[in-house]
């Protein structure tokens, strides 16, 4: 991993629940020594991507992201389009709908919408990073990604997040074959014990998979009727969202869907 990649990887550890990270904690999270982490954070700070705050001089995301986010949204208003689709999907299924986009080898949550039909629901974090091997969104992306990218992901260390998380590359490849056949991924307790999710891939104008649209429900509420409703509404919403953002479905996806 190059210097730039190492520096950018540090940014993925920030979240809503972990908005401030000290030097020692960042070193522990990243597996890099303190001297290296300090050097990388200093370079990020010089460019405005992180800043220090609090009495402990911990690090948080910097103002540079505000400018970049505004420029991105002005050029590609993906989030606005996504929110409309997510709201309709959450209302139709009564469950949490979310969309995630692939950024390099990281799948990050772009937006999510909660349904108000139930008091108990699956909750999410802003910009939450979703493991490619342990979530339906990640499996949906891997199922329609280039073989080289899949090999790279499956050859890395795959963390077992729950007792149900599959980490065997050979078994994951069989799962991905089923994803391609169904044009949809399903995950039960692989990322969180009590969460049952479905996801479909999203494509760009070059027919490349860029992310996934997903529905997450508590395992206790999932029955045949809900599963059928989720799969039907998710399929329609994902196809509409790909077209609404200027994307095209690859021929392999069209044939499998047919």
User: pLDDT tens digit string along 47-95?
Assistant: 999 999 877 889 999 988 888 877 766 665 677 888 999 999 999 999 9
Domain housing 152: 76-257
Q: What is the pLDDT of residues 102-142, one digit of tens each?
A: 988 889 998 999 998 998 999 998 878 899 999 999 999 99
Long-range contacts of 28-37 (CB under 8 A, 24+ apart): 30/6, 32/6, 36/6, 37/10
Long-range contacts of 37-45 (CB under 8 A, 24+ apart): 37/10, 40/3, 40/6, 40/7, 40/10, 41/10, 43/7, 44/7, 44/10, 44/11
252 vs 39, residue with greater confidence: 39
Same domain, 58 and 180: no
Same domain, 216 and 93: yes
Residue 152 and residue 143: Cα distance in Å, rounded? 14
Is residue 181 very low, low, confident or very high in pLDDT (cuts 50, 70, 90)?
very high
Same domain, 101 and 161: yes
Domain end position, chosen among 66, 90, 109: 66
pLDDT at 97 over 60: yes
**Size of the chain in residues:** 258
Q: pLDDT at position 75, please?
A: 60
Pair of tokens at residue 121: 């629901």
Is 223 part of a structural domain of the chain?
yes
Q: pLDDT at position 223, please?
A: 95
Q: pLDDT at position 255, please?
A: 57
Same domain, 108 and 42: no
11 vs 105, residue with greater confidence: 11
How many C-beta neighbours within 10 Å does residue 123 have?
10
Domain end position, chosen among 21, 41, 66: 66
Q: pLDDT at position 125, please?
A: 85
Is 71 part of a structural domain of the chain?
no
CB 210 within 8 A of CB 101: yes
Same domain, 115 and 203: yes
Q: Residue 233, exposed/middle/buried by CB under 10 A (0-12, 13-18, 19+)?
A: buried
Residue 63 and residue 83: Cα distance in Å, rounded? 24
Q: pLDDT at position 76, please?
A: 58
Q: pLDDT at position 13, please?
A: 87
Q: pLDDT at position 220, please?
A: 95
Q: pLDDT at position 256, please?
A: 59
Q: What mean pLDDT do residues 166-185 have?
A: 96
Tell me the percentage of the chain whose pLDDT exceeds 90.
69
Strands of the sheet with 195-203, listed across from one edge = 129-130, 106-113, 96-103, 209-218, 195-203, 185-188
Is 192 part of a structural domain of the chain?
yes
Q: What is the pLDDT of residues 209-218, one digit of tens each?
A: 999 999 999 9
Q: pLDDT at position 257, please?
A: 62
**Coil, strand or helix at 216:** strand
Same domain, 39 and 9: yes
């Amino acid at each position: 991993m190059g210097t730039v990649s190492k520096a950018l990887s540090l940014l993925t550890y920030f979240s809503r629940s972990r908005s401030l990270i000290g030097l020692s904690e960042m070193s522990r999270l990243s597996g890099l020594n303190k001297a290296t982490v300090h050097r990388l954070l200093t370079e990020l700070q010089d460019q405005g991507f992180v800043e220090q705050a609090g009495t402990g001089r911990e690090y948080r995301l910097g103002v540079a992201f505000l400018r970049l986010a505004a420029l991105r949204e002005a050029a590609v208003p993906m989030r606005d389009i996504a929110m409309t689709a997510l709201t309709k999907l959450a209302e139709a299924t009564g469950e949490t709908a979310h969309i995630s986009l692939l950024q390099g080898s990281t799948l990050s949550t772009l937006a999510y919408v909660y349904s108000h039909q139930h008091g108990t629901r699956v909750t999410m974090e802003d910009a939450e990073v979703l493991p490619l091997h342990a979530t339906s969104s990640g499996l949906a992306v891997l199922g329609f990604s280039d073989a080289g990218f899949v090999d790279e992901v499956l050859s890395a260390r795959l963390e077992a997040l729950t007792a149900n998380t599959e980490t065997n590359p050979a078994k994951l490849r069989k799962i991905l074959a089923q994803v391609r056949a169904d044009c949809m991924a399903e995950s039960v307790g692989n990322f969180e014990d009590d969460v049952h999710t479905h996801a479909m891939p999203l494509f760009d104008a070059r027919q490349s998979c860029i992310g996934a649209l997903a529905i997450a429900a508590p395992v206790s509420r999932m029955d045949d009727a809900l599963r059928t409703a989720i799969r039907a509404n998710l399929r329609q919403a994902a196809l509409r969202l790909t077209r609404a953002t200027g994307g095209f479905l690859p021929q392999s996806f069209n044939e499998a869907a047919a």
